[in-house]
Structure formats: C-alpha cells, structure tokens
Structure 1
Amino acid sequence: MITGKIKSFGVGLGLLTSVACMQTTAFETQLIDETAPSELSQNTTPVFGASLFQGGFKDQPFIGFNPDYQITVGDQINLQLWGAYSFSATLPVDPKGNIFVPEVGPVHVAGIKNGALNDFVLRHVKRVFKNNVQAYANLEASQPVKVFVTGYVNNPGLYNGFSSDSILFYLDSAGGIDKLSGSFVDIKVMRRGAEIQKVNLYNFLVDGIMPALQLRSGDVVVVGARNGSVTVEGAVQQAAQMEFTGPYTQLGEMLLVTKPDPQANFARITQVVDGVQQAKYMSLTDAMTTRLYPGAQVELVRDNDIQSISIRVSGELDGPATYVLPYGATLDELLVQLDFRANADRDSIQLYRDSVAERQRAALNRSLDALQMEVLTRQPNTDLEKTAQKDSAMMIQNFIEQARKAKPRGQVVIANNPNAANMLLEDGDELVVPLKSSTVSIVGEVIFPTSLVYNKKRTLEDYIELAGGFANNANRDELVILHLDGTVSRIDDRDFDNRLGNRLRPGDEIMVMPKIQSSELQVTKDVTEILYRIAVGTAAVLSF
C-alpha cells in the first residue's frame, strides 16, 4: 500500500505542531497538498552516418567524365588524328607519364586535368602538323588500382577499383565503417607511410563535400577509432549519436548536424562531469553553448510536450545518481526504485526543488524591500533621533545587503503528511538520503559553534553550555531547532532546562539567533522574521 510505504520513510513522525508553527511565520518551506555516478543507460539511438554504407557505392565505380580528374600513369587515352594524317588508337600513359603520338613523339600528359586534355594534345600535334591535321583526345579509362582499407571497418582488405573512384567506394567495398567502434570523422589516406589526406564524412553527409583525391595502387585508407559521442534526440529532424573531436563540444555544433525541430525550445542534458552524473533542463538558447562531454545525452523538447523528468539522488544509496522518470511520476514511484544502504536515515529523506527555492527567494526579497522602505521613510522628530536613526539605517542597510546574498535551499517538507506518496515530482528535483546521525550541532550566537554526541538526557541548556555558552549578541528568549527532515521547532526559554523528548533528535541543528538591537518595535519584528526565514531556508544563521 502506498501510505504504508511512505510511513516507513518517516512520513508520520507526529511533528505537525512544529510545522504549523513555522507556517505562521511564512518561512515558505513547501509542504505537500553522494553516490558514485553510474553509466548512462544503453544507447539505442542510431549512429549518425551508419546508413551511408548499404552497397550503394561499391556497385557504382565512377567511370563518367570528371573535368577535374588529373591524368595519371596507367590511364587509357583514346586519340584520333584526321586530315592530312590519320590515326586512331587507345594509348596507355606510360610510367614516365607520357603517351606516344606517331610522327609527334612523346607527350607528357600526367597531371593534366581531364577537361583540358584535348586542347593540350592538339597543341602538341600542331607543332608538327601545321595545317590540315586535327586531333581529338579523351580519357577512355582511368588507371585500375588496388587500395588497402584497414582500421575500424567491417572487412579490412585489399580492394580493386580505379584511381577515379572516391573514398566511399573503397570504404563500402570493405563493408563500411564499424558503427560501434569506427570513426566517421577520423579517416586517413596514407601513401608510402605519409598521410596525404584526412576525411571527415560529416562534411559529406551534411554539406555534400568530398575531397578530390586520386588514389594509387598501394594507398591505404585507415579508419580511426570512434571518438567521443553525444546523443541528441527528441524534437530534432534526425535523432542520432554524433562524434566530435576534443575533450568536449557544444550543443550548437551538434545541432548543425542533426537539425532541431523549429518549435523545440528546451533541452534536457544528462552527462557525467568530473565523475559526477548531472542532469539539467534549460532553455534551448542557454543550452546552445553548454559544454557536452563524451556520453552526454540530450533531449530537445517543446515546453508543451515534456514526456520525462530527471531526478538527482544522493546520500546513502547505491545505484544511479540520476533517475529519468515519466512526466507525472510521483514520489512513491521514485522511492520504490532506490537501493538504500544499511546506515540510511529513511525517516529524514530530504527533497529540494528549484521552484520552491525561487519562491523562498522572492518572499525574502519582498520582506527586505518592505524593511528597506520602512527604514528610509521614517521621519525623525529631534536631532538626537535623526543621529540615532542614521546609525540604525546604516546598520540595517548592511544587513539587507547581506541578506540578499542568502541562497534558499528550496526544501520540500515531506514529513508528517499522508499525501506525500502521491506528490508529483518536478524536473530537476534533488532527493537526499542522509546518513543516520549520532550528533547534534549548535550554530549561531554561541562561543564555540560545534557538534556534540547526542544524549537524550541533556537539555538545551546543557548543549549550549558545552558550546561555551551564549555569545553576547545571542537571543536568549528563543531557539530554533532545524530537523533533518526539514521540519522546524521553535523553543522558548521556559524549556531550555527541560528534556525535549522527540523535539530534539540526532542530526538536528540547534540555531541560536542574534538579538536585534533596535528602539523601533516594528523594525525589530521585521528583522527577526527575516532572520528566521533565512535560518530555515538556508540552514545558516546570519549575524546581525
């Protein structure tokens, strides 16, 4: 039963009274109405370019007219002479790069572009036959070659072709690139041990660009190992795993290849950075310059078409550091998947949420704005009041400046609520399972802020004395106890020397707040409320 499961995680600890007390002071802590990173899940998204080699190139050797093809040794030149002298034959380009034209002699054609071959031969013929002889020369067949294909291809070997055939012909003849281990962006052509050309097939796949290269017998085409890759899917024109060179790339570069859907406006990025698995959800504009590391998974979404959410987990757990759940998943659906360690404190599970932190920050800023307005608009009655008010206003302005730097944690209190199991999770939520604690911390306005071993027989007064006693600026009328599960207890001085029972538990923080020195009752009240809001929202005491 769902309710039973949640109770086993401490959502029935009987602290409703303390939570209600905190609500009256508008602390904005929402109530419900570090493990090792794991590898990302097995990737089934197609490798970009894998469909390139499906027999379409090896069965189509290039024998058409290519004006940029350079004549080379072994090519066959069809030559015809007519007029005062007639001749017709197919002439091979000899090892010196010449063809032998009767009555003219050797003509060096190696290196001449195919488109210029006819005019080049005709000029040499005219040097001997000034008049009445015409010439026509064309490439009948390029040189047959044998090229080695090796590296990360499916069938390494030696393959027959022509010097006019492209790299794709020989790669396809070798069964194509191994999509699991071979690189589409790191292909080298070697000649006599030296690299003569580097080929990036993404240029061909995206822009149709293929370097002009004539291969010779003995050349070697080497396919390198697969580089780091990024998976981009979701609202894109073609979901794919894409390679990149270097330690990282940017989403904008990857989208030049895979092309985003025109209406995609958000990106969910999951990757391991410095050994820690991270999950981010951000606008596509912000995501374009985000660094992506090998293994990163990116899902482009439309803001009205979210199908999954990413939840980070940490603390006393084994297993993944990030869980991807269906949109609309509940807390219970996450909890049943967690593998708790033996020392996990299941009664103090903590849930942090960005939207709650934003509301806490907004509420704090509203209070600070009101305090600032009140201080700046007060009118003194005497010169003495004017001087005192100036000093007080400066002190409060400094306090406001410090307070605006406070960063609320956005903790969602899931304790004491039977409906917690059905709480909907939000993308980017972080769930922390703390270690069972045996200590109590004392922070704030005490002489020696410290942590002490919990002893249920000790009173608050005992703990304060063990921390050196109250500091001069301490508020001795009331203390705040912040529990691990996010609930809060406020204890007045009548209970300082009494045992608190369940109101003080291992792992708690006893927060001694500063005393507000002000002659203005309203200012004292406002500053006190802000201090308590900061203490609860940030788990820290701001000095005043």
Structure 2
Amino acid sequence: MNLKNSHPRLGVHPVVYLFAFIVLTGAMSAFAPGGVCAQELTPEMLRAASQQTGLSEAELRQRYAQQGGTAAADTVAKAEEPGRTELADIDDSRPWRDTNVQVQLPMDPAQDDSTGLDDLEDDFAAEEGFFGEEFFALDAGMFTPPSFGPVPGDYRLGVGDEIIINVWGGVDLQLTRVVDRDGAVLLPQVGKIVCVGRTLAEVDDAVRERLAITHASIGLDDRDPREGADTFVEVTLGHLRGIRVFVVGEAMRPGSYELSSVSTVLTALYMAGGPSTTGSFRSINLVRGNEVVATLDIYQYLTGGSRQGDARLREGDTVFINNRGPAVHISGGVRRPMHYEMLAGETMADLVGYAGGFLPTAAPEVIHVNRILPVGARQSGQPDHILLDVPFDPSTGLTVDGQPMNLLDGDVILVDDIGDRLEGWVEIVGSVKRPGRYQFTDGMTSLDLVTAAGGLWPDALTERAVIDRTSPDGAYSSLSVPLADTEAGVPLQSQDVLEVFSRWEIQTRPQVHITGEVFTGMTLDYREGMTLRDLVLKAGGLKASADLLRAEISRTRLDAVTSQDRNVRPTQTVEIIAVPLGDDFLTRDESLLLAPYDRVAIRRLPWWEMQHTITITGEVFYPGVFSLERRDETLSSLVRRAGGLRPDAYPIGARVIRTQDNVGNIAIDLAKALDEPGSQYDVVLQDGDTLLIPDRMFTVKVVGEVGFPTSLVWEDGLKIDDYVNRAGGYLEKSDKGKSRVVYPNGMSLPNKGGSKVVAGSTIIVPIEPPPTGKTTTETIRDITGIVASLAMVWLVIDTAAR
C-alpha cells in the first residue's frame, strides 16, 4: 500500500478517510454504557474533523450522535413561501459532500494511542514543500462565497435563484420568489416572468413593466415617469442557487461539489484541497462543454494578485488539474527558499520573483546550479549531474552577457550569502556609561572612545586600561594604556576593544562576620563607620539565649600580617576584644566601631537550654509526651510519671527507639529496670527517645527456609527446633546452624542448645550460602591432571634410562 496516497493531504476522498475510523468508533460505542460512544466531543476535535471532511460542526455532532444511538437526525424543513420550489432544500453555502458517509471524529490526544496518520502528517510537514501548498491548507470554508447578497453586474439568473421584489410608496408590497424549473417566477395578477438567462437589471425592468400594467402608480423608469407615479419597485437577489461542478485530475480530493452560483475556479480548488503532490499550480483548466474556456495560474494570484483565469463557474463545469510541470528548488539568500513549478520559457529572473526576491545578505553575482543532464546529453561512464556557476546581474535579471538564464526540470539553485565579518568598528567595555561598539574613524584615540561612551563611572580604574587588538591578518596583541593625566590618548585601530576596569573588580572588599546567638549569622561587606550594634541589627538581633555580659571580637592586626620582615615572625596576628553588651545595648549612644575583617561572636548563656522531651506509647496509664526533669532521668522514673504499667502490659516486648545519631532500636529489659531502679538495666533517656510498651502477645512467628512459614501459638517450654518442626521442619537448603530467635524487644539469640523462646518472638531460618572455593568434582579433576602429568614424566625418564 502506498502510504502517501492514504494521507489526508495527498489526494484521498473524504469517504476513504472517514471509513478508516469506523471500526474504532464502533469499538468505543460497544464499550460505552448503554451503547453510547464514551468519547467526549471537544472543539478541537470538531474543528479537525470539519477540515478533514468538509462537514459543518453541527452536522458532525448530529452524525456522531447517530452512530452512538443518542440522537436522531434533524429533518430539513421545507420552505413554505409561495412559489418556492424543491430547490429550497439546497444549502449552497457549503460544498457538496457524500451524505451517506459515517463520521469518525479524531481521537482525543489523551485517548489516541495510534500515531500512523499523525506521523505521516509530521513527516510531510517536515519536508520543504512546493510554493502554493500552504495556501490550500487553510479551512476551505474561509473562502466559500456567500449564498446571498450582491452579485456582479453580469450575473445571469438561473433555476433556483431567489429574487425579492420590494414595492413601496402608493402600494407597499414585498414578494419573495424562487426561479422554478421553467426558468420563471409567478407573480399575483401578473403571471409568469422569465428570469433564466437574464441579468438582474433585465429582470428588474421586466418585473417593473409587468407590475405597471396592473398598478398605474408605478413608473416604468426614471427617464419616462408616468404622471402621478408615486410607487417604486426594486428587485434584489436573496438566496443564490446551487450549482454542481466537478474537480478532477491531480486534486487532493477529486469529486463532485455543490457550490454557490457565484463560485469561481479558486472556490472549487479550495473545496477539493488544492492540487495534490503531483498536481500543477500553474495549469488548471476550466472545461465547459468539452472546451477549455479558462486556464488559472495560481502563482500569478499568489505573487501579483492577478485572478486572470479565475472564471465564474456554471452548472456542470469541470475543473481539471494537470500534472505538475518542471520543478526547481532554490535556497540560500532568497526570501522564500522552496520548490517551484516553472512554465516553459520562464527564467531565473522569474524564479527569483516567485521566491520573493533576494535577501539583503544575498550575494547573487554568481549563482550555483546543480543540474541533472537531459537524457540526450548523458554519456556512459560520466556523472549525470553537473555544477554550473552562472554570473548573474540582479539589476537586469540576465546573465552578465545579457542572456536570460534558462532553467531545466530538477535544477537545484543556491544563492550564496555574504560573509558576517564586520569592519570599521571599535568597542569599549567595562566601567563606562554606555559600553558597546562604535564607528572607527581615522585618528581616533582611546580618549575619543571614552568620550563617545559617555565617560567613566566614578569607580573606574584610571591608572590602567587594556586594549585587545586584532590585526588585519587575525593576530592577537594586547596594549596597556593609562586613562588618567592624558590629554591626547592612545591611537586606536579598527576592531580594538578597550576594557575599562572597576576598582572593585581587581581588589576584594573587606568583610566582617558575626556568628553565635543571633538570628541570622552572616558575612557582610565592611562599611566605614559600621558599629557592633549595626552588625547585630543586620543579623536580626540577639536571641534570648545570648549572654549580654560577653561578646567577643577577633580583630586582625594589619601591622603584623602585612609585615615584610622575614626574619622575625609576628608574635600576635589577632587581637581578642571582650565587649559586655548590657541590657541597654540598643539604647545607649555609643557602640564599638568595627574594623575591616572583624569577626564577632555572641556567646550563649552557660546553662541555657530548652526542655528535652521523650514520648511513651502503649500500655501505660498516661501515654504521651513528657519533658525530662533532669539530664539523667531513667526508664523507671518515666514509667512512674506515666502512672505505671497497665495490667495487660508486656514488659518483655518493651523497647526504646532513639533518633539521636541514628541509633535506632534499643533492646531493654523493662521488668528488671522497674525492679532495680538505678541499675544498669535502668537506661538513661535522651531527648527525642520513644518508649514503646506493647500489649500481651500470644504467638511466635517462623520465617525463612522452613516447610511452611507461619505464626504459631506460644507454649511455655518449647525451644526453637520445636517451633521449626511445627512449621514443617528445616528445608534441604536451610542453614540450621545460623537459625536464630528475635525477641519482641529486638534482642536476637542464636540457636545454640535450644534458646528460650518468648511470646512475640520471630524465629528466622536463613538459606545456606553457596559453597566457597572448589567443589569436590573440581578437586578430583585437578588431582587427576597432576597424576597424569607425573605418569608422563616417569614414562619419559624410564624410556631414556633404557
């Protein structure tokens, strides 16, 4: 199957495109509740389907509901005006569509898992297409002429046109009639008036003349008014008739279309999606009665607005799109680089015009042409492509020898661009008011450039600036120049870059630091006149834990650290200054002046600390959060403050979880801690500890390499092996010697001599690790090899001895 031919932009009738989605629609309807399609219609989906099918959004909703069984089609109301014919059912505001097709809306992006058509569209859009293709990618309805309103002066009425007769003055009357199949309209007391083939002005005269017979107050016209005529007649057009035309040849969607009677060739092309990938944009024929009555060149319309050949259509006309003619491609320095279809006799000048002309950066003096040799010019053993460099004069559109540059089918044209190199400039960067590039003039100096840049900022370093110079041959050099005390400046060259430094770019600003009992410890740039109080305030103020009697400033002794004496090491490079802050620290007038590089430390009160808390949960009378009374408070003290253990408490399973230093679970013996307060079992608690005291337990859990891992009822006196046997026994790959019991408080004991098992314990039987080193088979193989080697050596010795 040719995928390109199935693409919605590549010549497929809407019926084919819509049928491709019918199966998916049925599947969605079948799985939706009540047989209704479960997909929700969105405006984006409706717009996409409308562009692909030519149906209106209202028709899409109606047909989509019919497929889901939720709505019935609305019947078209018949016109009830007198004289109306069956042509009233024709809606010629839209093109003809196949009304029997099934409608499948595009899937919602969140529901659509298929990417076939989308991938084709992406691939097609990614290719550099032909000039004119995008013109037909717009919604066809945007170019549909109205089905009512003014018409050209040469418009001739036909069957189905609606005329409106307005009479006012001595008689007030309005009649609406449709030209019937006999080509006439029927008026009361007047009879039939033939309209077919007449212009609107001719019909107006005929109606006025016939009405004047029965109404004496109606004048025939302004030039021959009747005496006493005070009634006026006007004939206008209402709803225009529909015509059926055919679009065939290399069209995207060839077929029959119903259009308004004022439609033109372009209207039919829009409806059919324009020429296909093999269709011509330059030769589109209007065929009427087996004769070509007009030929449309779309390029003339797109590039010059000329609609020559865009003739008005008539009933039964055929728009025939010919095969695409010779095509060339142009790229480089033109405004619209793409493929173009060329007519016989068109030259490079025509192509450049279609491409929008040369860009300002183009270098059209020499145009490169990659040409496919004609069949008659090809030679055996020689390439079939040649590269031509054609000298071109853009002012005349001819070659330099005055000849037009003819093009051949398949030519690939490249227009070079000029280089990016820029000359005649100098640049200034850094601490100036307006840094940037400036025009270089002969005799220009560094002072001239600084003046052009608005002068130096106050922080500019005037002692030295640097010129980065690039010579005409591309070599780099650097030149140091002063900016102060110079009247003439240093001569500059083209492409010089003058860099003016700020003083603070080449030296570090001194800083001060504050740490300790302030809300935000920080490092700040030192400022002249900064005091200790200023720094404390910038740090957010003092905490309640600050010792107001002691602040410490460590000050660098600049005379010592800047000493040049290499023979004597400074005995002291830092001076420690103790400063009592006092309660009136913020209110008193004086405050210690800081020096560059000072470090301020606000000390903490010696015994300041907040409450330390622990949490007790489980079987106590008052579980919750408790504050430690002292730093050495123990388990027994905490349990006593919590009201003691409840009757159902299980002390054997009690444990402590410690968050400090990520200690984790601590296995304790709560019973002994309560019986022997202050003993080694009575653990000292820490801030953040959690004491868990569980309820009574009655089971033992067996896991690992046993026949059936399970939980068993605890029985006093049973050992590890007893519980394992009740769980199916040890498996073949179990490591019996490594089995162990874990008590509910987290303590673990190995299975040696049958360790005691308490309620709530977990017995773990691990799998035996794989053996390390060589297996028995590998050892026997190695020994056999050694014996065989010894036997061979013995045989050789024995043979030599004989």
Shorter-chain TM-score tier: 0.3 to 0.5
TM-score by length of 1: 0.43
TM-score by length of 2: 0.30
Higher normalized contact order (CA 8 Å, seq sep 6+, divided by chain length) = 1
